[in-house]
A and B are shown apart, each in its own frame.
Chain A
Amino acid sequence: MGRGGSRAAPAAAAPPWHVLPDEVWEHAFSFLPADSDRGAAAAACRSWLRAERRSRRRLAVANCYAASPQDAVDRFPAVRAVEVKGKPHFADFGLVPPAWGAAAAPWVAAAADGWPLVEEISFKRMVVTDDCLEMIAASFRNFQVLRLVSCEGFSTAGLAAIAAGCRNLRELDLQENEIEDCSIHWLSLFPESFTSLVTLNFSCLEGDVNITVLERLVTRCRNLKTLKLNNAIPLDKLANLLRKAPQIVELGTGRFSADYHPDLFSKLEAAFAGCKSLRRLSGAWDAVPEYLPAFYCVCEGLTSLNLSYATVRGPELIKFISRCKNLQLLWVMDLIEDHGLAVVASSCNKLQELRVFPSAPFDAAEQVSLTERGLVDVSASCPMLESVLYFCRRMTNEALITIAKNRPNFTCFRLCIIEPHTPDYTTHQPLDAGFSAIVESCKGLRRLSVSGLLTDSVFKSIGAHADRLEMLSIAFAGNSDLGLHYILSGCKSLKKLEIRDCPFGDKPLLANAAKLETMRSLWMSTCSLTLGACRQLARKMPRLSVEVMNDPRRGCPLDSLTDESPVETLYVYRTIAGPRSDTPACVQIV
């Protein structure tokens, strides 16, 4: 390959391609769609490395501990948009101890210093403080996009700083964060001259907002396309807001419950009729069925419908969804039941993604008639369906095999049978055959979550067939070390593996240690691991960070525990930054 120092032919008509100036390579690389392509180009030779890294505008750091913020800034000095993810996925379900880490502050500080031109910052599952938000508001003069997903540690005071300080803010997107309410009227701090907002999502905020201020803001931001309100905004105010922003493309309604009043209904109906561009709808907490028909005029145009917080059931819900003939994405509660999904199957043929959430996940007594039947119907009739998240209480191998046959185009298949170890309810067999059919048929499967009663043999199939699988979630499954061994020795593309409550031990972990360096991370909790194996793994693989977490009330620090001691939680990830220094007491890096 051409290295920068090769001698060019004297006075040639055009320079040989391998000594083209960096600007040409930078321009060429700008056409590479994926970061991984850019990374591959950078690995080709020094001049490409130089050109690529100096022109990289967007950076996604999938694990905030894989590299230090300073590493990122040094390597990619021209970044304008950065996304950083922190805690492991199982943090969403309470399995990660408090104060585990993932502080955003070092990233904000490094960005403020090294990337003054940054325009976009996204954090996912990180601890973002008000100080961070203040620093963001103060450090980046062209800051435009702030996206916080599943974060915590900040309050409305931080939001106030953003509102007051970011003159060019286009997007403020707060998704499912825990935000402390300091009763600060942060919305009022957007100056009267501020009109650039395109996206405003505060659906996760628990407190009240000043509705008059919101109305004025919405009125003057003529480019507002996405507006997602929180639970505090009542129905009649929604109608007013919609009239002021008829150009809206994505709407998250506030609280959708109110006593039925024909006047309010007409008002809403008229407001929605004016929203000709509305394509995506969400929110609808406690939706009252009587008001659903107010939406009818927008149904035809909807491509995305998230009713996963709406505890509506019955014919109104089904009638409503059946009118949404162009839906590509549907998130609902299991209150839709099998017969509702049958209607979805026949009405929404363009469906690409379906998620069905449990309305009573902890209460087996509250039976909702949602079974394997619903999923079979949808996968039979929706040819473009490729992503599923489905919570139910029973499943059969036959259903899974049918689904696999009907929909070989799944890229994401996540099935959660609520009761652990549930077998096929007709044959009482493990669901190995069903899930095997899925991985054998769906050659493009990138994400898989398995559940129900499963033996090691399903993992043999997964290891052998799931070549494109990048993320695998396993819970209460398998019967021996073999299960884990099949996965780690197969699954060519595996990046993230998360396991809980499986009888997997030390042997397969150590035998496949090298595999772990090809993956982003491995999580194993409540399995059969010992401290000795973790220590051995850490010694063997210096570029992995091996974190062990135990119940803090078990007293003695890890150093004094023997090799035979059981390990409650193991989290392993590759890193170039060495062991982190911000671990709490119950986490140790061995």
Chain B
Amino acid sequence: MEIDADNLSATELRLGLPGTSSSDDWQKKPSPSVGAKRALDDTRSEASGTSPATAGDLDHDTAAPPKAQVVGWPPVRAYRKNTFQAAAAAKKAEQQGGLYVKVSMDGAPYLRKVDLRMYKGYRELSDALDALFTKSISAAAAAAEGGEHQHAIAYEDKDGDLMLVGDVPWDMFISSCKKLRIMKGSEAR
């Protein structure tokens, strides 16, 4: 179900009667352009045959939400609708929202934050972390006795255990990673 960010009222778990909104309307008027917001269409125009089929053409435009909705159709109970709206919204939020985790590096004065959703895999994450911490890495490399400037990336998972990054599939990693830690090569051995 399409839910635009600025139409969050659709995802609200309201306690009012089905079909109500906070402004007390119980049948909204049609919006001027079908396919703009997810509007409640004037059911009369649906019945008179301005066919929903033509409205389906709008679906080609992936940015546009689906055709305007008719009140109370399909006949899905408000209770069921609410349950799925909430679940769908949560899923979407999870999928599209940022997944920011702290990144600490041993020896660096302050931590950074990265959005794990920005990266498609470990390679990209590694490159990004390198970019974030270039100064600290080169400083450490200079201080180290040469050859030991390899860094290991570790993460803290949901159970609080420190794990080496790279063992599990990327998706599983994203869902369980709580914190990143760049460790000095010597500690990692």
- Residues of A near any B CB (own CB < 8 A): 90-99, 150, 152, 176, 178, 180, 204, 206, 259, 285-286, 308-309, 311, 357-365, 391, 416, 418-421, 473, 475-476, 500-503, 525-527, 551-553, 568, 586
Contact = CB atoms under 8 A, between A and B. Distances in A.
B18 A93 contact: yes
Contact of A475 (B26, B51, B73, B76): B73
Contacts of B67: 364
B71 A94 contact: yes
Contacts of B83: 285, 309
Contact of A420 (B17, B73, B80, B84): B73
29 contacts: A91-B17, A92-B75, A92-B77, A94-B17, A94-B71, A94-B72, A96-B19, A98-B20, A98-B26, A99-B17, A178-B15, A178-B16, A308-B80, A309-B83, A311-B87, A359-B84, A361-B74, A362-B69, A364-B56, A365-B66, A418-B74, A421-B51, A421-B52, A421-B53, A475-B75, A501-B43, A501-B46, A527-B47, A553-B25
B12 interface: no
B79 interface: yes
B43 A93 contact: no
B188 interface: no
Please give me the 6 A-B residue pairs with the lowest Cβ-Cβ distance, nearest first. A94-B19, A93-B72, A501-B47, A94-B18, A176-B79, A98-B17
B73 A358 contact: no
Contacts of B74: 358, 361, 391, 416, 418
Given A91-B18, A92-B18, A176-B79, A420 B70 contact: yes
A99 B47 CA distance: 27
A218 to B, nearest CB: 25
Interface string B72-115: 11111111110110010000000000000000000000000000
Contact of B26 (A93, A97, A359): A97
Q: How large is the interface on B (under 10, 10 to 19, 20 to 34, 35 or more residues)?
A: 35 or more
Interface in B40-75: 43-44, 46-49, 51-53, 56, 59, 66-67, 69-75
Given A90-B72, A94-B18, A95-B71, A503 B47 contact: yes
Given A500-B73, A501-B46, 4 more contacts: A98-B17, A421-B53, A473-B75, A501-B44
A176 B82 CA distance: 11
A364 B67 CA distance: 9
B13 interface: yes
Contacts of A527: 47
Contacts of A552: 24-26
Contacts of B24: 98, 552
A553 B23 CA distance: 12
B79 A204 contact: yes
Given A98-B24, A552-B26, A361 B71 contact: no
Contacts of B72: 90, 93-95, 500
Contacts of B84: 359
B8 interface: no
A286 B87 contact: yes
B76 A358 contact: yes
Contact of A363 (B2, B15, B20, B79): B2
B46 A362 contact: no
B27 interface: yes
Nearest to A475: B73
B1 A93 contact: no
- Name which of A176, A285, A308, A362 has the most chain B CB atoms within 10 A of its CB: A362
